[in-house]
Structure 1
């Protein structure tokens, strides 16, 4: 029955054993609705929105209780990603957007004026460098404390622990890469290139200068093959998010009897990983392959 029909009802029609007529009940309806709505929780912001899984991992490292929404879904291509309407709405309601505009700047619709923390506007894939993470963690912790002052002490303690773990992770990576200071690497994609440069690992070639190897032609492959033959013990540094057919071709066609090792590293992980878990996952892969 439509509530607008209340005035047409007979005032003598009543609920059994209540003494309340239909007209009285209809007149009470707006107050009942208001009462019920008042019991419901008020609309809340969407918490923290991050553009990429590693940024989610940094937030969770400092505040495991944070309500974090990662825009890039599992398996999605970060290069060609476009926001869905529901994600646009989530972003608009966010209390804070954590992004790395050097890597997500080509996404359309990524804007939250006055509520954005851009961790690395001038450095690509900076989360893969423990030194870069160490530098940015205090700034991120400050932003999280402003959002959740009731957890300020817990975030401060988490920051101290995270910095300690990040320093240790930096040392682990340096030691694991020492063997490649002379041998060097040939990379499928340049995601790890800045990090390897910081560890003094020479990168003899990067096959993809554009997204997903659009420009890997015969000339580039032959050039890379010559470099691999000149450095036969180089590591073929693959990317789990990109097809590795070009690196496989190099491995198959190199002249050395002992073929170069090919490893597929993961620069993004997933939204349920902390940053430490992502870095340890890749470190385990490197250390396992380096074991005779």
Structure 2
């Protein structure tokens, strides 16, 4: 029973009875026909009062993003109502992964609805891709339990297919990466200087120093990461890059990085080592077994 409830978590969308309306305007039919899942597109548009009077493709795109976000939020509410009682640690681990991934999916979808003034369709495409990848990662975590159930594909498809459609609706023209003096144009002047610095100079520029002998600000990297997170509590948005320097040593840690604009430096190959021992065989999921898990949307070096 717990397995079935756990699978229900996998991004269950609102399983409503969808029927194709004959009153869908021709322009919406045309736009929906250009998506990978046109019936999903038409059905959700037909059941949303905001679709009446849509004239431009831009308005259609905005509504498609909003519908996708709305369905994800509603699915999250349903998931909370059906949280299972875990029979073992691996079920609990998969549930924790999916909870975290789903929350991040909603955050990324929210960015597509409320993009910053300087954001482009390419940024929106990145956020949508991240949201979809989160769902696939959640699926991987669940499948690692060795669970197979016909309900799995059913409950995971609604939100996933809406995101896939949103990717097609938003798709910008191909863009070649541009470079300036060997660096991508998005790299700030300060970032370029940091990347060009010698290791010893970077250590002096560090905002925080980690040293196991107590000669730095902290003895563990995790403590430094948590400190930087206090400087950017929202976890999103622009900001100055923060440099964390790790002195020589073997750091046996399992870290999750949620704060954007961070840069880690060390004393050199073989001198500064970060190692972890989590694995699927040991009861962790693949998603949660990374020694350093980077889980933010902007600029990790």
| Structure-2-length-normalised TM-score | 0.27
| Structure-1-length-normalised TM-score | 0.28
Larger radius of gyration: 1
